[in-house]
Structure 1
Amino acid sequence: MQIYLPIAEVAVNAYLLLGLGGMVGVLSGMFGVGGGFLMTPLLFFIGIPPAVAVATGTNQIVASSFSGVLAHLKRKTVDLRMGTVLLSGGLVGAALGVQFFAYLRSIGQVDLLVTLSYVVFLGIIGGLMLVESLRALLRTRGGRVVPKRKKHGWVHALPVKMKFRTSGLY
Protein backbone atom coordinates (compact mmCIF):
# COMPACT_ATOMS: atom_id res chain seq x y z
CA MET A 1 0.00 0.00 0.00
CA GLN A 2 1.70 3.17 -1.24
CA ILE A 3 1.14 6.52 0.43
CA TYR A 4 2.21 9.85 -1.00
CA LEU A 5 4.23 12.12 1.27
CA PRO A 6 3.64 15.64 -0.11
CA ILE A 7 6.46 17.37 1.79
CA ALA A 8 9.02 14.76 0.70
CA GLU A 9 7.33 14.55 -2.73
CA VAL A 10 7.70 10.75 -2.81
CA ALA A 11 5.43 7.74 -2.51
CA VAL A 12 6.48 4.99 -0.10
CA ASN A 13 5.05 1.76 1.20
CA ALA A 14 3.06 2.45 4.37
CA TYR A 15 3.90 -0.97 5.81
CA LEU A 16 7.59 -0.29 5.29
CA LEU A 17 7.28 2.96 7.26
CA LEU A 18 5.36 1.18 10.04
CA GLY A 19 7.99 -1.55 10.14
CA LEU A 20 10.85 0.95 10.29
CA GLY A 21 9.12 2.87 13.07
CA GLY A 22 8.47 -0.30 15.04
CA MET A 23 12.00 -1.62 14.59
CA VAL A 24 13.59 1.69 15.60
CA GLY A 25 11.21 1.92 18.56
CA VAL A 26 12.23 -1.52 19.82
CA LEU A 27 15.93 -0.75 19.38
CA SER A 28 15.48 2.62 21.10
CA GLY A 29 13.83 0.95 24.06
CA MET A 30 16.48 -1.77 24.29
CA PHE A 31 19.50 0.51 24.07
CA GLY A 32 18.16 3.72 25.61
CA VAL A 33 18.71 5.91 22.58
CA GLY A 34 16.42 8.46 20.95
CA GLY A 35 16.39 6.57 17.68
CA GLY A 36 17.00 9.49 15.34
CA PHE A 37 20.46 8.29 14.41
CA LEU A 38 18.84 5.04 13.28
CA MET A 39 15.72 6.45 11.65
CA THR A 40 17.32 9.23 9.60
CA PRO A 41 19.71 7.02 7.58
CA LEU A 42 16.94 4.44 7.09
CA LEU A 43 14.73 7.17 5.66
CA PHE A 44 17.60 8.15 3.33
CA PHE A 45 17.76 4.56 2.08
CA ILE A 46 14.06 4.39 1.20
CA GLY A 47 14.27 7.57 -0.85
CA ILE A 48 13.22 10.34 1.54
CA PRO A 49 15.21 13.54 0.86
CA PRO A 50 17.83 14.23 3.57
CA ALA A 51 16.26 17.52 4.72
CA VAL A 52 12.89 15.83 5.24
CA ALA A 53 14.52 12.77 6.84
CA VAL A 54 16.29 14.95 9.43
CA ALA A 55 13.08 16.77 10.37
CA THR A 56 11.11 13.51 10.50
CA GLY A 57 13.81 11.83 12.59
CA THR A 58 13.65 14.74 15.02
CA ASN A 59 9.93 14.18 15.52
CA GLN A 60 10.56 10.49 16.09
CA ILE A 61 13.24 11.33 18.69
CA VAL A 62 10.81 13.49 20.65
CA ALA A 63 8.15 10.78 20.74
CA SER A 64 10.42 7.88 21.67
CA SER A 65 12.40 9.93 24.20
CA PHE A 66 9.21 11.08 25.91
CA SER A 67 7.87 7.54 26.19
CA GLY A 68 11.27 6.37 27.45
CA VAL A 69 11.34 9.06 30.14
CA LEU A 70 7.87 8.06 31.31
CA ALA A 71 8.90 4.40 31.57
CA HIS A 72 12.10 5.22 33.46
CA LEU A 73 10.35 7.69 35.77
CA LYS A 74 8.20 4.79 36.99
CA ARG A 75 11.40 2.90 37.82
CA LYS A 76 12.95 6.00 39.44
CA THR A 77 16.03 5.74 37.22
CA VAL A 78 15.93 9.26 35.78
CA ASP A 79 18.34 11.92 37.00
CA LEU A 80 16.05 14.92 36.51
CA ARG A 81 18.80 17.43 37.25
CA MET A 82 21.08 15.96 34.59
CA GLY A 83 18.15 15.71 32.21
CA THR A 84 17.39 19.40 32.68
CA VAL A 85 21.00 20.35 31.93
CA LEU A 86 21.07 18.10 28.87
CA LEU A 87 17.72 19.46 27.69
CA SER A 88 18.98 23.04 28.01
CA GLY A 89 22.06 22.27 25.95
CA GLY A 90 19.96 20.35 23.45
CA LEU A 91 17.58 23.25 22.95
CA VAL A 92 20.44 25.67 22.31
CA GLY A 93 22.12 23.18 19.98
CA ALA A 94 18.89 22.52 18.11
CA ALA A 95 18.27 26.25 17.64
CA LEU A 96 21.78 26.71 16.25
CA GLY A 97 21.35 23.63 14.06
CA VAL A 98 18.12 25.00 12.58
CA GLN A 99 19.88 28.27 11.72
CA PHE A 100 22.79 26.41 10.12
CA PHE A 101 20.34 24.17 8.27
CA ALA A 102 18.52 27.24 6.90
CA TYR A 103 21.85 28.68 5.73
CA LEU A 104 22.76 25.43 3.95
CA ARG A 105 19.35 25.33 2.33
CA SER A 106 19.82 28.91 1.07
CA ILE A 107 23.09 27.97 -0.66
CA GLY A 108 21.64 24.68 -1.94
CA GLN A 109 24.01 22.28 -0.15
CA VAL A 110 21.80 20.82 2.55
CA ASP A 111 21.31 17.34 1.05
CA LEU A 112 25.01 16.80 0.38
CA LEU A 113 26.19 18.01 3.76
CA VAL A 114 23.55 16.11 5.74
CA THR A 115 24.37 12.87 3.94
CA LEU A 116 28.14 13.27 4.34
CA SER A 117 27.80 14.37 7.96
CA TYR A 118 25.83 11.23 8.80
CA VAL A 119 28.42 8.99 7.21
CA VAL A 120 31.28 10.70 9.06
CA PHE A 121 29.40 10.95 12.38
CA LEU A 122 28.26 7.33 12.43
CA GLY A 123 31.73 6.20 11.33
CA ILE A 124 33.35 8.07 14.22
CA ILE A 125 30.81 6.73 16.73
CA GLY A 126 31.28 3.20 15.42
CA GLY A 127 35.06 3.53 15.66
CA LEU A 128 34.89 4.82 19.24
CA MET A 129 32.56 1.98 20.22
CA LEU A 130 34.94 -0.54 18.63
CA VAL A 131 37.91 0.88 20.55
CA GLU A 132 35.98 0.84 23.85
CA SER A 133 34.80 -2.73 23.24
CA LEU A 134 38.32 -3.90 22.48
CA ARG A 135 39.62 -2.21 25.64
CA ALA A 136 36.91 -3.87 27.73
CA LEU A 137 37.70 -7.24 26.15
CA LEU A 138 41.41 -6.84 26.89
CA ARG A 139 40.68 -5.80 30.50
CA THR A 140 38.53 -8.87 31.15
CA ARG A 141 41.00 -11.24 29.52
CA GLY A 142 43.84 -9.75 31.52
CA GLY A 143 42.02 -10.65 34.73
CA ARG A 144 42.17 -7.09 36.02
CA VAL A 145 39.37 -5.75 38.14
CA VAL A 146 37.61 -2.90 36.39
CA PRO A 147 37.51 0.16 38.67
CA LYS A 148 34.06 1.59 39.38
CA ARG A 149 35.17 5.18 38.88
CA LYS A 150 37.89 6.69 36.79
CA LYS A 151 40.51 8.92 38.33
CA HIS A 152 39.82 12.61 38.11
CA GLY A 153 41.30 14.24 35.01
CA TRP A 154 41.67 17.75 33.68
CA VAL A 155 37.90 18.12 33.26
CA HIS A 156 37.44 18.05 37.03
CA ALA A 157 39.71 21.10 37.35
CA LEU A 158 37.30 23.27 35.34
CA PRO A 159 35.56 25.99 37.37
CA VAL A 160 31.86 25.24 36.75
CA LYS A 161 30.75 21.98 38.34
CA MET A 162 27.44 20.29 39.11
CA LYS A 163 26.64 17.23 41.16
CA PHE A 164 24.26 14.61 39.81
CA ARG A 165 23.58 12.44 42.84
CA THR A 166 21.06 10.11 41.17
CA SER A 167 23.60 9.27 38.46
CA GLY A 168 26.49 9.10 40.90
CA LEU A 169 28.44 11.81 39.08
CA TYR A 170 30.17 14.38 41.26
Structure 2
Amino acid sequence: MQIYLPIAEVSVNAFLILGLGGLVGILSGMFGVGGGFLITPLLFFVGIPPAVAVSTSANQIVASSFSAVLAHIRRRTVDFRMGFVLLIGGLLGSAVGVWIFTLLRNLGQVDLLVSLCYVVFLGIIGLLMFVESLRAMRSSRSGKVPKRKKHNWVHALPIKMKFRTSGLYISVIPPILVGAAVGILSAIMGVGGGFIMVPAMIYLLGMPTKVVIGTSLFQIIFTTAFTTILHATTNYTVDMLLAVLLLLGGVVGAQFGAKLGAYLKAEQLRVLLAVLVLAVCGKLALDLLLQPAELYSVAGSGA
Protein backbone atom coordinates (compact mmCIF):
# COMPACT_ATOMS: atom_id res chain seq x y z
CA MET A 1 0.00 0.00 0.00
CA GLN A 2 1.69 3.17 -1.23
CA ILE A 3 1.28 6.43 0.70
CA TYR A 4 2.61 9.91 0.03
CA LEU A 5 4.74 11.63 2.68
CA PRO A 6 4.15 15.40 2.44
CA ILE A 7 7.35 16.63 4.11
CA ALA A 8 9.66 14.02 2.60
CA GLU A 9 7.85 14.46 -0.76
CA VAL A 10 8.13 10.78 -1.69
CA SER A 11 5.78 7.79 -1.89
CA VAL A 12 6.59 4.71 0.22
CA ASN A 13 5.05 1.37 1.13
CA ALA A 14 3.21 1.74 4.46
CA PHE A 15 3.81 -1.88 5.51
CA LEU A 16 7.55 -1.52 4.82
CA ILE A 17 7.74 1.49 7.16
CA LEU A 18 5.74 -0.36 9.83
CA GLY A 19 8.16 -3.27 9.55
CA LEU A 20 11.18 -0.99 9.91
CA GLY A 21 9.64 0.55 13.02
CA GLY A 22 8.98 -2.89 14.50
CA LEU A 23 12.54 -4.04 13.85
CA VAL A 24 13.97 -0.97 15.55
CA GLY A 25 11.59 -1.43 18.47
CA ILE A 26 12.88 -4.97 19.01
CA LEU A 27 16.47 -3.69 19.03
CA SER A 28 15.52 -0.93 21.47
CA GLY A 29 14.10 -3.41 23.96
CA MET A 30 16.96 -5.91 23.60
CA PHE A 31 20.00 -3.65 23.61
CA GLY A 32 18.95 -0.46 25.39
CA VAL A 33 19.52 1.66 22.28
CA GLY A 34 17.05 4.00 20.66
CA GLY A 35 17.64 2.27 17.31
CA GLY A 36 18.32 5.47 15.38
CA PHE A 37 21.70 4.12 14.21
CA LEU A 38 19.69 1.59 12.19
CA ILE A 39 16.40 3.29 11.35
CA THR A 40 18.01 6.45 9.92
CA PRO A 41 20.21 4.61 7.38
CA LEU A 42 17.29 2.30 6.51
CA LEU A 43 15.18 5.36 5.75
CA PHE A 44 17.99 6.57 3.49
CA PHE A 45 17.86 3.24 1.66
CA VAL A 46 14.09 3.47 0.99
CA GLY A 47 14.41 6.98 -0.48
CA ILE A 48 13.71 9.33 2.44
CA PRO A 49 15.83 12.53 2.25
CA PRO A 50 18.56 12.53 4.95
CA ALA A 51 17.37 15.76 6.63
CA VAL A 52 13.83 14.34 7.02
CA ALA A 53 15.13 10.89 8.05
CA VAL A 54 17.28 12.36 10.84
CA SER A 55 14.54 14.58 12.27
CA THR A 56 11.72 12.03 12.01
CA SER A 57 13.67 9.04 13.31
CA ALA A 58 14.43 11.02 16.48
CA ASN A 59 10.66 11.25 16.98
CA GLN A 60 10.23 7.49 16.51
CA ILE A 61 12.95 6.75 19.04
CA VAL A 62 10.91 8.49 21.75
CA ALA A 63 8.04 6.01 21.47
CA SER A 64 10.09 2.83 21.09
CA SER A 65 12.34 3.82 24.01
CA PHE A 66 9.36 4.70 26.22
CA SER A 67 7.71 1.38 25.49
CA ALA A 68 10.92 -0.53 26.23
CA VAL A 69 11.77 1.38 29.42
CA LEU A 70 8.42 0.42 30.98
CA ALA A 71 9.52 -3.21 30.96
CA HIS A 72 12.83 -2.29 32.61
CA ILE A 73 11.10 -0.19 35.26
CA ARG A 74 9.00 -3.22 36.20
CA ARG A 75 12.25 -5.19 36.64
CA ARG A 76 13.76 -2.29 38.66
CA THR A 77 16.77 -2.00 36.39
CA VAL A 78 16.64 1.78 35.86
CA ASP A 79 18.95 4.13 37.79
CA PHE A 80 16.79 7.27 37.77
CA ARG A 81 19.38 9.45 39.50
CA MET A 82 22.02 8.57 36.91
CA GLY A 83 19.42 9.06 34.19
CA PHE A 84 18.68 12.63 35.29
CA VAL A 85 22.40 13.51 35.44
CA LEU A 86 22.88 12.15 31.91
CA LEU A 87 19.81 14.09 30.82
CA ILE A 88 21.30 17.44 31.89
CA GLY A 89 24.16 16.92 29.47
CA GLY A 90 21.84 15.47 26.83
CA LEU A 91 19.61 18.54 26.65
CA LEU A 92 22.58 20.89 26.37
CA GLY A 93 24.15 18.71 23.69
CA SER A 94 20.90 18.53 21.70
CA ALA A 95 20.66 22.31 21.51
CA VAL A 96 24.25 22.55 20.23
CA GLY A 97 23.69 19.70 17.76
CA VAL A 98 20.55 21.25 16.23
CA TRP A 99 22.42 24.53 15.78
CA ILE A 100 25.23 22.70 13.93
CA PHE A 101 22.69 20.73 11.85
CA THR A 102 20.87 23.94 10.82
CA LEU A 103 24.12 25.66 9.88
CA LEU A 104 25.28 22.77 7.69
CA ARG A 105 21.83 22.39 6.13
CA ASN A 106 21.94 26.03 5.05
CA LEU A 107 25.36 25.38 3.53
CA GLY A 108 24.03 22.31 1.69
CA GLN A 109 26.47 19.89 3.36
CA VAL A 110 24.20 18.09 5.82
CA ASP A 111 23.67 14.93 3.73
CA LEU A 112 27.39 14.25 3.39
CA LEU A 113 28.03 15.06 7.05
CA VAL A 114 25.36 12.64 8.29
CA SER A 115 26.68 9.78 6.16
CA LEU A 116 30.30 10.38 7.15
CA CYS A 117 29.37 10.59 10.84
CA TYR A 118 27.63 7.25 10.61
CA VAL A 119 30.55 5.53 8.92
CA VAL A 120 33.15 6.90 11.38
CA PHE A 121 31.22 6.45 14.61
CA LEU A 122 29.63 3.11 13.78
CA GLY A 123 32.93 1.70 12.54
CA ILE A 124 34.89 2.68 15.65
CA ILE A 125 32.24 1.74 18.19
CA GLY A 126 31.32 -1.50 16.40
CA LEU A 127 34.91 -2.75 16.30
CA LEU A 128 35.60 -1.87 19.94
CA MET A 129 32.39 -3.53 21.14
CA PHE A 130 32.96 -6.64 19.01
CA VAL A 131 36.52 -7.21 20.26
CA GLU A 132 35.56 -6.60 23.91
CA SER A 133 32.48 -8.82 23.69
CA LEU A 134 34.44 -11.74 22.26
CA ARG A 135 37.03 -11.31 25.00
CA ALA A 136 34.30 -11.33 27.67
CA MET A 137 32.68 -14.44 26.16
CA ARG A 138 36.02 -16.30 26.19
CA SER A 139 36.58 -15.33 29.82
CA SER A 140 33.09 -16.54 30.70
CA ARG A 141 33.63 -19.93 29.06
CA SER A 142 36.97 -20.41 30.78
CA GLY A 143 35.35 -19.82 34.14
CA LYS A 144 37.28 -16.65 34.89
CA VAL A 145 35.19 -13.85 36.30
CA PRO A 146 36.33 -10.53 34.82
CA LYS A 147 37.29 -8.09 37.53
CA ARG A 148 35.49 -4.77 37.45
CA LYS A 149 37.82 -1.84 37.88
CA LYS A 150 37.10 -0.27 41.24
CA HIS A 151 39.04 2.94 40.71
CA ASN A 152 40.14 4.87 37.65
CA TRP A 153 40.55 8.52 36.67
CA VAL A 154 36.76 9.02 36.82
CA HIS A 155 36.79 8.40 40.57
CA ALA A 156 39.41 11.14 41.11
CA LEU A 157 37.17 13.92 39.74
CA PRO A 158 35.29 16.31 42.08
CA ILE A 159 31.53 16.87 42.61
CA LYS A 160 30.74 13.28 43.51
CA MET A 161 27.28 11.78 43.89
CA LYS A 162 26.08 8.40 45.12
CA PHE A 163 24.08 6.29 42.66
CA ARG A 164 22.57 3.52 44.76
CA THR A 165 20.94 1.48 41.99
CA SER A 166 24.24 1.29 40.11
CA GLY A 167 26.31 0.87 43.26
CA LEU A 168 28.55 3.82 42.34
CA TYR A 169 29.98 6.89 44.06
CA ILE A 170 31.52 8.98 41.28
CA SER A 171 31.74 12.53 39.94
CA VAL A 172 28.76 13.86 37.97
CA ILE A 173 31.13 15.41 35.39
CA PRO A 174 31.70 12.26 33.24
CA PRO A 175 27.95 11.40 33.03
CA ILE A 176 27.16 14.98 32.01
CA LEU A 177 29.84 14.89 29.30
CA VAL A 178 28.59 11.51 28.04
CA GLY A 179 25.04 12.89 27.92
CA ALA A 180 26.19 16.00 26.04
CA ALA A 181 28.02 13.91 23.43
CA VAL A 182 24.92 11.77 22.94
CA GLY A 183 22.73 14.86 22.64
CA ILE A 184 24.90 16.27 19.85
CA LEU A 185 24.83 12.94 17.99
CA SER A 186 21.06 12.72 18.46
CA ALA A 187 20.56 16.07 16.73
CA ILE A 188 23.03 15.56 13.87
CA MET A 189 22.55 11.85 13.17
CA GLY A 190 18.96 11.22 14.28
CA VAL A 191 20.05 8.60 16.83
CA GLY A 192 19.20 7.99 20.44
CA GLY A 193 22.92 7.57 21.07
CA GLY A 194 22.64 4.24 22.83
CA PHE A 195 25.47 2.76 20.75
CA ILE A 196 27.73 5.41 22.33
CA MET A 197 26.09 5.64 25.74
CA VAL A 198 25.86 1.91 26.55
CA PRO A 199 29.62 1.24 26.12
CA ALA A 200 30.47 4.50 27.94
CA MET A 201 28.26 3.62 30.90
CA ILE A 202 29.75 0.13 31.15
CA TYR A 203 33.45 0.80 30.54
CA LEU A 204 33.86 4.45 31.56
CA LEU A 205 31.41 4.84 34.44
CA GLY A 206 31.59 1.20 35.56
CA MET A 207 27.83 0.60 35.74
CA PRO A 208 26.40 -2.96 35.84
CA THR A 209 25.14 -4.08 32.43
CA LYS A 210 21.67 -4.99 33.74
CA VAL A 211 21.18 -1.38 34.92
CA VAL A 212 22.79 0.26 31.90
CA ILE A 213 20.10 -0.73 29.38
CA GLY A 214 17.12 0.67 31.29
CA THR A 215 18.98 3.83 32.32
CA SER A 216 20.11 4.46 28.75
CA LEU A 217 16.55 4.17 27.48
CA PHE A 218 15.27 6.53 30.19
CA GLN A 219 17.71 9.26 29.14
CA ILE A 220 17.13 8.67 25.43
CA ILE A 221 13.39 9.39 25.76
CA PHE A 222 13.84 12.96 26.91
CA THR A 223 16.88 13.82 24.81
CA THR A 224 15.28 12.70 21.54
CA ALA A 225 11.95 14.34 22.40
CA PHE A 226 13.76 17.64 22.92
CA THR A 227 15.70 17.13 19.68
CA THR A 228 12.49 16.46 17.75
CA ILE A 229 10.88 19.65 19.04
CA LEU A 230 13.93 21.71 18.05
CA HIS A 231 14.05 20.18 14.54
CA ALA A 232 10.31 20.71 14.04
CA THR A 233 10.45 24.37 15.06
CA THR A 234 13.73 25.36 13.38
CA ASN A 235 14.22 23.13 10.32
CA TYR A 236 10.61 21.97 9.66
CA THR A 237 11.84 18.52 8.64
CA VAL A 238 9.69 16.26 10.84
CA ASP A 239 7.24 14.24 8.70
CA MET A 240 4.41 13.34 11.06
CA LEU A 241 2.85 10.71 8.77
CA LEU A 242 6.17 8.89 8.53
CA ALA A 243 6.65 9.27 12.30
CA VAL A 244 3.24 7.74 13.10
CA LEU A 245 3.94 4.65 10.99
CA LEU A 246 7.35 4.19 12.64
CA LEU A 247 5.82 4.74 16.09
CA LEU A 248 3.18 2.05 15.63
CA GLY A 249 5.76 -0.54 14.62
CA GLY A 250 8.28 0.59 17.26
CA VAL A 251 5.96 0.41 20.27
CA VAL A 252 4.93 -3.16 19.48
CA GLY A 253 8.45 -4.29 18.65
CA ALA A 254 9.95 -2.84 21.85
CA GLN A 255 7.85 -5.10 24.07
CA PHE A 256 9.04 -8.20 22.20
CA GLY A 257 12.63 -6.94 22.33
CA ALA A 258 12.58 -6.47 26.11
CA LYS A 259 11.37 -10.06 26.55
CA LEU A 260 13.96 -11.48 24.14
CA GLY A 261 16.76 -9.58 25.88
CA ALA A 262 15.93 -11.26 29.20
CA TYR A 263 16.88 -14.67 27.73
CA LEU A 264 20.35 -13.65 26.51
CA LYS A 265 23.54 -13.05 28.46
CA ALA A 266 25.07 -9.58 28.61
CA GLU A 267 28.07 -10.66 26.49
CA GLN A 268 25.79 -12.15 23.84
CA LEU A 269 23.73 -8.95 23.69
CA ARG A 270 26.83 -6.83 23.20
CA VAL A 271 28.31 -8.99 20.43
CA LEU A 272 24.99 -9.02 18.54
CA LEU A 273 24.77 -5.24 18.82
CA ALA A 274 28.36 -4.93 17.58
CA VAL A 275 27.60 -7.09 14.51
CA LEU A 276 24.57 -4.95 13.66
CA VAL A 277 26.55 -1.74 14.03
CA LEU A 278 29.32 -3.02 11.73
CA ALA A 279 26.81 -4.25 9.13
CA VAL A 280 25.12 -0.85 8.88
CA CYS A 281 28.52 0.87 8.77
CA GLY A 282 29.61 -1.34 5.88
CA LYS A 283 26.49 -0.61 3.85
CA LEU A 284 26.84 3.15 4.32
CA ALA A 285 30.55 3.04 3.43
CA LEU A 286 29.77 1.19 0.20
CA ASP A 287 27.13 3.75 -0.74
CA LEU A 288 29.66 6.54 -0.28
CA LEU A 289 32.37 4.79 -2.32
CA LEU A 290 30.32 3.31 -5.17
CA GLN A 291 29.29 5.47 -8.10
CA PRO A 292 25.57 6.39 -7.87
CA ALA A 293 23.12 5.38 -10.61
CA GLU A 294 22.30 9.02 -11.23
CA LEU A 295 25.30 11.37 -11.22
CA TYR A 296 23.19 14.54 -11.29
CA SER A 297 19.88 15.63 -9.79
CA VAL A 298 17.70 18.63 -10.53
CA ALA A 299 16.17 20.67 -7.73
CA GLY A 300 14.08 23.82 -7.69
CA SER A 301 15.64 27.14 -6.72
CA GLY A 302 13.76 27.15 -3.41
CA ALA A 303 15.09 23.71 -2.34
What is the TM-score of this pair, normalised by structure 2? 0.53
Cα distance, 1:72 vs. partner?
2.0
SS of residue matched to 2:151: coil
Cα-to-partner distance string for 1:51-102 (whole Å, 9 max, x where unaligned)? 1111111001111122222222222221110111112211111111100000
- Give the letter aligned to residue 159 of structure 1: P
Tell me the residue number matched to 2:3: 3
Tell me the residue number matched to 2:88: 88
Cα distance, 1:116 vs. partner?
1.1
Cα distance, 1:119 vs. partner?
1.4
Runs of 4+ with deviation above 6 angstroms = none
CA distance in 2, matches of 1:22, 1:140: 32
Tell me the residue number matched to 1:165: 164
Cα-to-partner distance string for 1:122-160 (whole Å, 9 max, x where unaligned)? 11111111121232144346553322x313111211112
CA distance in 2, matches of 1:44, 1:84: 32
8 Å Cα contact 1:34/1:64 also seen in 2: yes
Cα-to-partner distance string for 1:23-46 (whole Å, 9 max, x where unaligned)? 111121122211111211111111
1:119 aligns with 2:155: no
CA distance in 2, matches of 1:151, 1:80: 22
Please, which moves more after superposition, 133-142 or 27-36? Answer: 133-142
8 Å Cα contact 2:29/2:65 also seen in 1: no
- Give the letter aligned to residue 109 of structure 1: Q
Cα-to-partner distance string for 1:90-120 (whole Å, 9 max, x where unaligned)? 1111111100000101111001101111111
8 Å Cα contact 1:4/1:10 also seen in 2: yes
Question: Taking structure 1 as reference, are residues 8 and 72 closer, same or farther at Cα in structure 2, changes over 3 Å only?
Answer: same
CA distance in 2, matches of 1:82, 1:155: 15
CA distance in 2, matches of 1:48, 1:41: 9
Q: How many residues align?
A: 169
1:50 aligns with 2:50: yes
Tell me the residue number matched to 2:12: 12
CA distance in 2, matches of 1:140, 1:2: 49
SS of residue matched to 1:4: strand
CA distance in 1, matches of 2:70, 2:142: 40
After superposition, the CA RMSD in angstroms is: 1.6
In structure 2, runs of 5+ residues without a counterpart are: 170-303
Tell me the residue number matched to 2:61: 61
Which structure would you say has the larger RCO, counting Cα contacts within 8 Å and 6 or more residues apart? 2
CA distance in 2, matches of 1:18, 1:133: 31
Please, which moves more after superposition, 66-75 or 125-134? Answer: 66-75
In structure 1, runs of 5+ residues without a counterpart are: none
Tell me the residue number matched to 2:74: 74
CA distance in 2, matches of 1:68, 1:137: 26
Matching of residues 130-169 of structure 1 within 5 Å: 130-140=130-140, 143-147=143-147, 149-169=148-168
8 Å Cα contact 2:162/2:168 also seen in 1: yes
Please, which moves more after superposition, 127-136 or 93-102? Answer: 127-136
8 Å Cα contact 1:35/1:60 also seen in 2: no
